[in-house]
Amino acid sequence: MADPLRLGIAGLGTVGAGVVKIVRQKANLLGARAGREVVISAVSARSKSKDRGVNLSAYAWEDDPVKLALRDDVDVFVELMGGEDGPAKAATEAAIKAGKDVVTANKAMLAMHGQALAELAEENNKVIRFEAAVAGGIPVIKALTEGLAGNSITRVMGVMNGSCNYILTRMQSAGLTYEEVFAEADGLGYLEADPQLDVGGIDAAHKLAILSSIAFGTQVNFAGIALEGIENVTIEDINAAADMGFKIKLLGSAQMTGRGLEQSMAPCLVPATSPLGQLDGGTNMIVLEGDHVGQIVLRGAGAGEGPTASAVMSDVMDLARGIRLPTFGQPAATLEKAKAAGSAAPAPYYLRMALDDKPGALAKVATALGDAGVSIDRMRQYDHADASAPVLIVTHTTSSEALVAALDALPATGVVNGAPVALRIEQV
């Protein structure tokens, strides 16, 4: 039997403790599958005395994750601390320079420094694996880099943040406002320590940036994502969208177009009967489209101890078996610096606005939309107690430039009260 693969685990929180548990509980299974033992040599966290629900007494302890990364008895540095810079990045770089492979769940670090880290790893003949960084337990990195390696990927999309999907689902099912459900989710511990990472769409955008890089062979480009969070999604829009046969999701989408790489993470409407429309609660779903395979839908737990540790172990087992792929599926030097598409591909849009309830108001709005080249597909006006009538419009497929021109023209009609809401509709 080959020598054991020796892990050094930095970070013993939700994910790190989960990884230690799997290594301890599944020693025989892992050894049989890898053809060698997988063992832990040393661990690191901030507090040595904290009870983590698992016996750590057999492992050496390091206060400093960089020292852990440099230990002679560590073959693979498992980074599970988090944070785009700081100790996670310092220890990852130190590990690679010291000749260790790295496994990480850190999407923020990869989204911001992925290209530089991939180059560093290749200069040192080492690999960085990160199945757990995107969609928790769903093996989407493996699906893209291995299962779909013979395809040109045409599109990647999905729901990549469980907390946002929980909030949007709960708003609809309980008829609660965003603020009420946010407070509830925070109280239940569903949100990141900095909730803005979740509700601002940043965590999901980190994941999308990583998927885009693998899918399109481009350098990871977080800054190129058109990003909008869920903070402005109202219960009125959720109910109105439902009435028109849609659900609102924080949807990530990436595709290579003639205008460049289009990446967006924003609240969108999807058909209520579609797989994405039926995705409720904290679950994630990734839709991949390839030129030969067609559409693949992957669904599962996007977070939590078990699912995320399961994904970390997938990378550990690859390394134990001698499977060594380049970080983003191809050598870092071959990843192109893609130009960001300046605008979104044409799509139908949902518009909600309040109109003066007086003769000719609707006609003025229809004319403003028509003059901008936006065609109305469906329209609905609701009962109302005051002089302001709630109106919903679903447009035919329109360019984002035409939509912006139409929205800009609405105030001049003199009949629209307040700012209209405009959300993209994705046909999936």
Q: What angle do CA 320, 83, 197 make, to 5 degrees?
A: 120
Tell me the three state secondary structure of residue 173. helix
Report how many residues bind ligand NAP under the rule CB under 6 A: 25
> Which residues pair with residue 351 across a beta bridge?
393, 422
Judge contact between 33 and 2, C-beta under 8 A: no
Point out which span in 57-65, 83-91, 160-168, 170-178 binds ligand HSE (CB under 6 A): 160-168
> Would you count residue 277 as binding ligand HSE (CB under 6 A)?
no
Q: What angle do CA 238, 134, 344 make, to 5 degrees?
A: 55
Point out which span in 38-46, 165-173, 277-285, 389-397 binds ligand NAP (CB under 6 A): 38-46
> Would you count residue 45 as binding ligand NAP (CB under 6 A)?
yes
Residue 11 CB, nearest approach to ligand HSE (Å):
14
Among residues 63 and 123, whose Cβ is nearest to ligand NAP? 63
In the list ligand NAP, ligand HSE, none, the entry touching 260 (Cβ below 5 to 8 angstroms by class) is none
287-to-127, 150, 159, 273 alpha-carbon distances in Å: 26, 17, 9, 15
Distance CA 306, CA 308 (A): 6
Judge contact between 208 and 260, C-beta under 8 A: no
Among residues 173 and 375, whose Cβ is nearest to ligand HSE? 173
Report how many residues bind ligand HSE under the rule CB under 6 A: 9
Active site residues: 207
Among residues 55 and 417, whose Cβ is nearest to ligand NAP? 55
> Would you count residue 114 as binding ligand NAP (CB under 6 A)?
no
> Would you count residue 198 as binding ligand HSE (CB under 6 A)?
yes
> Would you count residue 136 as binding ligand NAP (CB under 6 A)?
yes
Residue 104 CB, nearest approach to ligand NAP (Å):
7
The arrangement of strands across the sheet holding 416-424 comes to 376-381, 388-395, 349-356, 416-424
> How many other CB atoms are found less than 10 A from the CB of residue 226?
17
**Alpha helices of 64-195 — where are they, by DSSP H?**
65-70, 86-97, 107-123, 140-142, 162-174, 178-187
Residues interacting with ligand HSE, by CB under 6 A? Answer: 136, 161-163, 192, 198, 203, 302-303
Binding-site ranges for ligand NAP (CB under 6 A): 10-16, 44-47, 50, 65, 80-82, 87, 105-107, 132, 136, 303-304, 308
